[in-house]
Amino acid sequence: MTVGVEEISDEGLGSRSNERFVEAAVGAARGLAERDPEMARWTAPLVRAIKRRRLRLPSLSPTVHRVVKLIESQEVDLDELADAVSGDPVLATRIMGVANSSYFRGATEVPNVRDALMRMGVREARTIVIVVALRATVMRSPGLGDMASVLWKHSLLAASATQEITAELPPWETAGFLAGLVHDLGKLVVLAFAAELPAWQDDGAEPGSAVVEAMMAATHAELGAMVLASWAFPEPFCEAVLLHHDASQAVGDAGSLAIAVEVGNRIASQIEQGWPEDAAELDETLVERATRLGVDPPRLSDIAMEAETNFEALSKLG
């Protein structure tokens, strides 16, 4: 499948919704420089790149784009999905490989993509196709190095956790996995930009890892929302990614997706640090946000266990 980076065009960012996320990203980068003036030499070029539409964003091949669009819609038709997947020979081969792997233990080899998706079942097929399709976008992003696998694991874990949360959260029952999977996409943008930063400096200086970390922390949510908007994702997805570190002000249906993604991200982080035996030791914000969605701490622990099991299974997909 063709995955690379492309310069975003003015056309792609022309809509008002996109403009809002561009403003948010500019504001986030400027805010960092205001808090820490030494950061200005690194954030000023970032602001310029965002404003002049010179920032390199991860792009999706037309096939993967079509697949993602299908999966993001509520009802996915197996024939349509099979048709879309078959448009990308690499993706098709991978999907058939998964269906024929020990993961599904079929008696016979599946002969085509449609049978492969049938063997998986519609629900699982959605998840597997999206994982296989987006994995390359994440893993082949420039400037990522060792962080690729860390970031990918965190994304899978957050996706699994968000899926568990939204399973009983209409109208987002089928949206959680995808929203969780892409929540930290903005980190790819910062890392790709950091690799180019020396070229933007008079003295060719390279940013240290602390600088990159700070830029990532300050801007990745806004940049992630910007990427999703450029991929023409529905506004609630972009909004959820924008707010995934603090959805305290989120309201309405779109707001509940934002809270779900924040909870999914916090569950992932808590699992990575070690899930505590005593619920009293859980991250306070995690408990507060989950309570808003009607999820109490015992249920939260169950959800975390289910998410971890799901994550283990998905990591075996390679």
3-state helix, strand, coil in the chain (%, to 5): 70, 0, 30
Nearer of residues 162 and 174 to Fe ion, judged by Cβ: 162
Strand (E) or helix (H) holding 5: strand 5-7
Give min distance, CB of 154 to Fe ion, in A: 6
Nearer of residues 86 and 285 to Fe ion, judged by Cβ: 285
Give min distance, CB of 309 to Fe ion, in A: 20
- Chain residues binding Fe ion by CB under 5 A are 184, 265
Nearer of residues 118 and 217 to Fe ion, judged by Cβ: 217
User: What's the token pair of residue 144?
Assistant: 């990522």
Nearer of residues 236 and 264 to Fe ion, judged by Cβ: 264
Give min distance, CB of 223 to Fe ion, in A: 11
Residue 85 to residues 20, 56, 96, 175: CA-CA distances in angstroms?
Answer: 33, 26, 10, 19
Give min distance, CB of 121 to Fe ion, in A: 28
Which DSSP string do the residues of 33-81 spell out, in sequence order?
HHH-GGGHHHHHHHHHHHHTT--EEE---HHHHHHHHHHHSSS--HHHH
Give min distance, CB of 150 to Fe ion, in A: 11
Q: Nearest Cα to 32, choosing from 24, 20, 22, 40?
A: 40
Nearer of residues 67 and 185 to Fe ion, judged by Cβ: 185
